[in-house]
Structure 1
Amino acid sequence: MKYFFSLIALLISAAVIFSFYHFKPQPKRKRPAPLIPLVETSILKRADFQVFLESFGNVIPEKELTVVSEVQGTVLAKNDELIPGGFLREGDTLAQIDRTNYELVVLERKAAVIEAENELELESGQQIIAKQEWELFKEEMVTTEKGKRLVLREPQMKRALARLQAAQSKLDEALLDIGRTAIKAPFNAVVMENNIEVGKFIARYAPVARLVGTDRFWVKLSVPIASLSYINLPTTESTKSSAVTIRLNGNHGSPIQRTGHVLKLLGEISSDNRMARLVVAIEDPLDLTTKSPSSFNKILLGSYVRADIDCGTLAGLFRIPRTAIHDNNTIWIFTDGKLRYAQVTIVWQRKNDVLVKGDLDGVQLITSRLQNPLEGMAVSTSAERKKPNKKKEQ
C-alpha cells in the first residue's frame, strides 16, 4: 500500500511538471531581417591613358646574301674575320684571289688598244689624202653618194673606230676582273658561313660567304586590323612612325630592352590568324656601338621577342578591371543602396583592365563578385553600414 501511494504521488508530480512546460506561453518568432550583400566599390574618374599594343614575333635579318666570286683563281689571302660570327665593315676585303693571270690579260688588252689607235691614226691619214684627191678631181668624177663615201674612205674610218672601241671595252673588262680579285663586303655584316680557305681554287660564281647586315634587324608582327588606326605608319610625306619597345629575357633572367619603330605595313593578311602584319626595325641590334664590352644588350637573330607598340594617348576614358565587365559589356553600379546595370562601350583592352567611354564620372563601380545579381537588388558598402552607428553615437 505504501508503494501504491508513492507511485500515485510520482505520477501527479510528473503531470504537474508536464502541464507547466506544455502550457507555458511561447515567445513569438520574428522573421529574420533579409541579408544585404556587402560589396566593394570604386569611384570612376575620367582620365587620359597612354596605350600600347602587345604583339610577339621572331627577329629576322633585313639584309642577307651569299657573296660569290666573279672571277676564278687561287685564294691567296682572306680576312681574319671571315669566320662564322666575325664582323666586317662595308668595303673590307674578304679574300684576295691570285691576280697574275688577269694582269697579263690587261697587258695584252692594252697592246690591242695601242694597235687599234695606230690603225685609226693611219686611217685618218689615208682619209686626209682621199679628201685632197677628191677636191682635185671631183668635177671630173661622176659618182653616187655611196661612191663618194667609198672614195673618202668613210667605211674604213668607221671600222677603225669600231676596232678601237672594242679593244678599249676588252681592256676595261680586264681591269674590272683585276678589281674583282679582291672580294669586298657590300655592307656592315656578320659572317654566318665561310666557304673558302687560303690556297683553295674557286670557280667563277662560287659561293664565298653568307653575310647578314648588322645595321638593322626586322621583327614581323601580327596585329588586329582594327588597331591599325591607332598606329602611325610612315608615308611618302612623313617618315615618323610609332615607337616600339622590344623586350627579351637576357642572361640570368635579366631583361633586354631595345627601342625600334614601325617600318612598313605588309600588303597582306596572315592566313593563320587573319591579322594584319607589320615590319618593325631595330637599329644596331647587336649593339656594336656600345663602348663597354661587359654589357650585353644584343638582340640576336631568331629571338622570339615581345613588342609593345606605342599607340598614343586616348583622352577622356574610364579604367575598369576586367573582372568588373559582365555579359554584353555591362557593369554593376551602386546607386541609392541598389545594384544597377549600365552598358559601356569598350575602346581599348589591356591585360588586366579595359578602357571605356560613357557618362560615368563619379559613378560607384561595384567590383565585388556576386552570385545571382539582380537589377535593383539591395546592396550595401562598408561606408553605408557605418552611417547608422554614427547616429547612435550622437
Structure 2
Amino acid sequence: MKTDSSENPMNDAPKTTSSPPAAIRSTIALLRFMLPVVVLVIAVLGAMYLLQSRPAATRTETEARATLVETIFASPADQTAEITAYGTVEPHRELLLQPQVGGQVVRINEGLRSGGRVPAGEMLFMIDPRDYRIAMIQREADVAKAAVALQLEEARGDVAQREWELLRDSIKASDQNEGLALRGPQKIEKEAALAAARGRLEKAELDLERTTISAPFNGIVLADDIEIGQVVSPQTRAATIAGTDRFDVMVSVPLDKLEWIRADPADPEGNSTARIIQELGNGRTVVRTGRVDRIVGEVERSGRLAKVRVLVEDPLGLEPSTDEARPALPLLLGSYVRVEIDGPSFTDAVELPRSVIRDNGNIWIFDRDGRLQIRSSTILAGRPDTVLVESFLLPGEEIVSSPLPSALPGMMLERIGSTGRPGSNAEVNDAEVDRGDA
C-alpha cells in the first residue's frame, strides 16, 4: 500500500534539526577564545590605570653621613723616656752577728727582736764580763811583774857596766866578751817578757770589750736567736740585721736599653735616677727615689736581659725631712716593685695612649675639615700605658681614640657630643651612633 506523503506532516518539514546545536557550539568556541583575551586586556588596562593613578615617587638623594668618634688632644712637649723594669728589694748591707767570745748572755737590747730597729753603736746584747775582767786584772799584774823584772835587769846591767870599766884592763883579750859581761842577753829576755805580758793584757782587754756586742750600722733586725741566760760561743748565730740607710733593687733590663742608662762609678751623682714603686693595693703605693748604682757584668740565662742594681737612700723614711709630700709608709724588704729608670730626653715628643696606635704603627687623625687622615708614626719610647712618638700633628688636628669599623682616608667624622664643624654637618641618628661606636 502506497503511503501518501501529504498525510505525514513530519515528512513535509525541512531537514534542519541539526542547525541550532552547531551555532551554539560555534558561539561557545568563540567565547572560549575571546574570554582569555578579554581578561588579559582588562588586566592590562587595570594595571595601566593603577600605574597611572599612583602618587608620583619623590626621588631623594642619600646625604653623606658623618661617623661619630671620640678624639683626644695631644700637644708636643719635652719628654723623658723611662725604662720600666721589675725587681725585688734587697738589703744593701746584711750581717750575721756572732759573738767573738763565749759566755752567758746577761743583757739583751729590747730592739733585738725580729723587725726591731737598732741605731749604729748601740748595745745589742752582753755576755757576762766578770771572767774576762778577772783575766784582764791578771794580765795587768803580769805586765807589772815583767816591768819590775826588766828594771832589775837594767840595774844589774848598770852594775856590770861599772865593773867592766874597772876590770877591763886586767882581763885577757881572749876572755873579753863585753856583751855577756854587761848582761845584754838577760836584758833582751826581760824586754821580751814584758812585751809578751803587754800583749796578753791587750788581748784580755779586747776580750772584755767583746763581751758587749754593738750594732755596726743603723739596722733592722731580720732574725734573733738568743735569750738571756743562754751560753753562747763564737760559733753561735745570735742575730741577723740589715742596714736601713740604703736598700738595693736588682732589676733586669733589655740589652738594647743599656745605652740609655748612665752608670759611672767615678761619678755616681751623674748616674741615671729612678723611681721605685711598691703597690700596696686599693690604689695605694709607696714611691721612693733612687739612683743606678752599677750595671752588673752578668746576663740572665733566661733571656737577653742585663742585671742593673738600683740604690735607694733612706728606704724606710727614717731621716728627718721637711717635705710634707713625702710618703710615711716604708719600702719593705722583699717587696716586688716596679722601677722606672730615666732614659734619654726628647724634644717636641707627643705622649699617646697605646690604644690609639693602630696596625703598622698608624694613627687616625681628625683633621681640620672633619675628615679622617691616616698617618704613620715613629715611636721613640714606650711606657707602661703610653708611648712617646715624634710630633706629627698640624694645628687644629686631633687624634681619633675610638674604634672604627672601616677606616678610610677622607671619610667624614664628627666628635661625639659635637654640634658640628666644617665638613661634618650631616645629620647623625641613633644608627649612626651605634655604627660609630662599633
Normalising by structure 1, what TM-score? Answer: 0.78
CA deviation after TM superposition for structure 1 residue 74, in Å: 1.4
| CA distance in structure 2 between the aligned counterparts of 1:365 and 1:123, rounded to whole angstroms | 104
CA deviation after TM superposition for structure 1 residue 304, in Å: 1.4
Give 1:54's match in structure 2, choosing from 84, 91, 94: 84
Verify the 8 A CA contact 1:234 1:263 in the aligned structure 2.
Answer: no
| CA distance in structure 2 between the aligned counterparts of 1:176 and 1:213, rounded to whole angstroms | 26
The equivalent of 2:423 in structure 1 is 385
**Match of 2:100, as an amino acid?**
E
The equivalent of 1:310 in structure 2 is 342
Give 1:261's match in structure 2, choosing from 290, 293, 298: 290
CA deviation after TM superposition for structure 1 residue 113, in Å: 0.8
1:41 and 1:104, CA in 2 relative to 1: closer, same or farther beyond 3 A? closer
Give 1:301's match in structure 2, choosing from 322, 333, 341: 333
Q: Equivalent residue of 1:207, what SS?
A: coil
| CA distance in structure 2 between the aligned counterparts of 1:143 and 1:227, rounded to whole angstroms | 88
Give 2:192's match in structure 1, choosing from 121, 144, 162: 162
1:362 and 1:223, CA in 2 relative to 1: closer, same or farther beyond 3 A? farther
1:229 and 1:184, CA in 2 relative to 1: closer, same or farther beyond 3 A? same
| CA distance in structure 2 between the aligned counterparts of 1:327 and 1:363, rounded to whole angstroms | 24
**Is 2:173 aligned against 1:142?**
yes
Verify the 8 A CA contact 1:233 1:262 in the aligned structure 2.
Answer: no
Verify the 8 A CA contact 2:371 2:413 in the aligned structure 1.
Answer: no
The equivalent of 1:392 in structure 2 is none
1:43 and 1:379, CA in 2 relative to 1: closer, same or farther beyond 3 A? farther
The equivalent of 1:217 in structure 2 is 247
CA deviation after TM superposition for structure 1 residue 236, in Å: 1.9
Number of aligned residue pairs: 381
CA deviation after TM superposition for structure 1 residue 64, in Å: 1.6
1:11 and 1:197, CA in 2 relative to 1: closer, same or farther beyond 3 A? closer
RMSD: 4.2
Verify the 8 A CA contact 2:66 2:413 in the aligned structure 1.
Answer: no
The equivalent of 2:274 in structure 1 is 244
Structure 2: where are the runs of 5+ without partners? 1-23, 415-420, 428-438
**Match of 1:346, as an amino acid?**
I
Deviates most, 9-18 or 176-185: 9-18
CA offset digits 1:187-209 (Å, max 9, x no partner)? 22222222222222222332211
| CA distance in structure 1 between the aligned counterparts of 2:107 and 2:91, rounded to whole angstroms | 28
Structure 1: where are the runs of 5+ without partners? 390-394
Verify the 8 A CA contact 1:256 1:298 in the aligned structure 2.
Answer: no
**Match of 2:105, as an amino acid?**
V
**Match of 2:299, as an amino acid?**
I
1:324 and 1:201, CA in 2 relative to 1: closer, same or farther beyond 3 A? closer
The equivalent of 1:350 in structure 2 is 383
Q: Equivalent residue of 1:278, what SS?
A: strand
Percent identity of the aligned residues?
31
**Match of 2:313, as an amino acid?**
E
- Listed as ranges, the matches of 1:48-87 within 5 Å are 48-87=78-117
Which of 1 and 2 has greater Rg? 2
Q: Equivalent residue of 2:423, what SS?
A: helix
